Structure 1
């Protein structure tokens, strides 16, 4: 009689405490010093952090536990092991308002909100929010819509608002508005001259230090370079 095939061994998912311990062991003071200059209070190399998330795979319940720890590295893992449809719109709204660290804010918007079925609902709700971090997420989603070719937004009106408000906006919101200015200039040929003019006159991020090989966030340079690449 042939032996029965071995029963596959199913690995037990790690606990939140085990993930926190693993992340603590990956802490690097040099990485933390670099991250803190950008407002991110953790010292885990992102390649190693992604490897932790890849091993865990999708685990919505664990993601919820990790988010609740308020530990920045744990929250980044949570955003990598959860799926957008695992969150209700009100969950994402609460998470954004609680995301005080730039990298957490950025990953939340890019990995969970942009692909979410309620992304437009959230964009509309956040766009004019009095909290500049929340409004910045609304502007980031607006840029995403424009880059995706959505023609349902009044781009001229967006340029009016950018022209009037960007120079004095708080840093987070200013970055998001500047991205929208550049996105309009890149993807709307009929408005490109005006976008370039606004960028030149406001001179936002004109002197921002840019590493060799990277494109400056100064809108006129950004627009010109991206159009050159697209039109090749």
Structure 2
């Protein structure tokens, strides 16, 4: 904890706080520290219990993803209230755990929108990598009905799912684009030059163009 405190950078904190993250540790330095510590499951659990964001990010880098039980991951997700901790927990730990599909189903319809956003993120991963068994048309129905008024984090996750359905599954592409055009979610999102807009019609068009150009 003392070493993490020593890595605190006010400029990094100011940038992170704009994205809802309450820590000031440069992530490259955090990853270097994790590389030095290597995998330490018990230390990871102790770091998580501090409730400190930087410590929790470090915990997620040095933990053993397959060692967590289902209820433990469920509790951790409900404690992960900052975007970076939430995203790393889902991407670095839950996706590698044997309970991933069970948790995806449990979180998808959770009344807590932050928890539900994790269910949608895991669903998007399946849309891309393992779509067999998913009701893609049904997902589009839910997105069409609920995305416009969803809280920010859940809306972002739904929007990502919509985009990936359109990119990865040509038979649903026209409908995905139509939903995006009508709902106009993230249409005015500030996008830096040379970056792809998260507005689904533009995003799908750009990704399909790149694929066709190969």
TM-score (norm 1): 0.90
Distance in 2 (CA, whole Å) between partners of 1:92 and 1:147 is 23
- Of the three residues 185, 193, 197, the one matched with 1:204 is 185
Are positions 1:192 and 2:173 aligned together? yes
Could you list the runs of 5+ residues in structure 2 that have no partner in the other structure? none
Cα distance per residue 1:174-231 (max 9 Å; x no partner): 0000000001001110000000000011000010011122111111111111122223
C-alpha distance in structure 2 between counterparts of 1:74 and 1:195, whole Å: 39
Q: Which runs of 5+ in 1 are unaligned?
A: 1-19
Shift of 1:83: 1.6
Q: Deviation of residue 151 (structure 1)?
A: 1.8
Q: 1 CA distance for matches of 2:192 and 2:67?
A: 38
Partner of residue 48, structure 2? 67
For the residue of structure 1 that corresponds to 2:36, the secondary structure is: helix
Q: Does 1:128 align with 2:101?
A: no
Task: Give the structure 2 partner of residue 225 of structure 1.
Answer: 206
- The count of aligned residue pairs is 213
Tell me whether 1:111 sits opposite 2:92 in the alignment. yes
**Within 1, Cα distance between the matches of 2:66 and 2:97?**
6
Q: Greater shift after overlay, 128-137 or 206-215?
A: 206-215
* Distance of 1:57 and 1:150 partners within structure 2: 34
Cα-to-partner distance string for 1:32-89 (whole Å, 9 max, x where unaligned): 0010010000001111111110110000000000000001000000000012111001
In terms of fraction of residues, the more helix-rich structure is 2
Residue 11 of structure 1 is matched in structure 2 by none
Q: What SS does the aligned partner of 2:210 have?
A: helix
- In the TM superposition, 1:1-232 aligns within 5 A as 20-232=1-213
Deviation at 1:123, TM superposition (A): 0.3
Q: In 1, distance between residues paired with 2:155 and 2:86?
A: 15
C-alpha distance in 2 between matches for 1:174 and 1:35:
21
4+ runs deviating over 4 angstroms = none
d(CA) in 1 for partners of 2:156 and 2:106? 19
Alignment TM-score, normalising by the size of structure 2: 0.98
